Chains A and B, each alone.
Chain A
Amino acid sequence: EDKVVQSPLSLVVHEGDTVTLNCSYEVTNFRSLLWYKQEKKAPTFLFMLTSSGIEKKSGRLSSILDKKELFSILNITATQTGDSAIYLCAGVGGGSNYKLTFGKGTLLTVNP
């Protein structure tokens, strides 16, 4: 059975801090790893990672994938209160039978 595990489950930091969120996966016929940010409502897409060692970057957020060790990290530098959200990691696999497995998420709270 496919599994995606995120850590920590929750995290409280102060504005300006740098955070690292972790995601480990066991996905059959692995194809890609996705990161989403979920505030009050729908998850919004952040990154898709398919290749090891290639960093994806968007502003203060960056992410990288290690296909040998089966994990990914999401970094947020100079955190702001607007970064407070649940961050979801999902593994895509299954070959022709498309399958996406979400982790339980990391709840990040950024205090002023």
Chain B
Amino acid sequence: NAGVTQTPKFRVLKTGQSMTLLCAQDMNHEYMYWYRQDPGMGLRLIHYSVGEGTTAKGEVPDGYNVSRLKKQNFLLGLESAAPSQTSVYFCASSSPRTASSTDTQYFGPGTRLTVL
């Protein structure tokens, strides 16, 4: 049981390049989330998904797209990377079986992205 995994762990991009971050969870959780964490800013929600085939915008969605084609995977895409997207990206998942389990999120190890 690996929990929540993220690929890749590190990446350096040039401005304008595109990339996709992959999040996978093996806990059969319905809900999945993408956050970014910047110094002094805390964790901010980018997009989230409450089930396969559904996605919704979070607090800072601009410049990102997501897809949830399979229940266990949640992809975060950067179509044209900008230096402002330099950050650590965390994926998380939770289960809606009860209100308490919905609110308890399990986090992946993070992806450190640098955009030059």
Contacts and interface: CB of A to CB of B under 8 A. Distances in A.
Nearest to A96: B50
A45 B105 contact: yes
Contacts of A44: 107
Given A42-B110, A98-B48, A98-B50, A88 B43 contact: yes
Contacts of A48: 100, 103-104
Q: Kindly name the residue among B42, B56, B99 whose own CB sees the greatest number of chain A CB atoms within 10 A.
A: B42
B104 A102 contact: no
Interface residues of B, number: 27
A68 interface: no
Contacts of A102: 35, 42-44
B98 to A, nearest CB: 11
Contacts of B56: 97
A50 B110 contact: no
B34 interface: no
B11 to A, nearest CB: 16
A67 to B, nearest CB: 15
Contacts of B64: none
Contacts of A105: 42
A49 to B, nearest CB: 10
Nearest to B102: A98
Given A31-B99, A88-B42, A98-B31, 5 more contacts: A32-B103, A45-B106, A98-B102, A102-B42, A105-B42
Interface of B: 4, 31, 33, 35, 40-45, 48, 50, 56, 58-59, 90, 99-100, 102-110
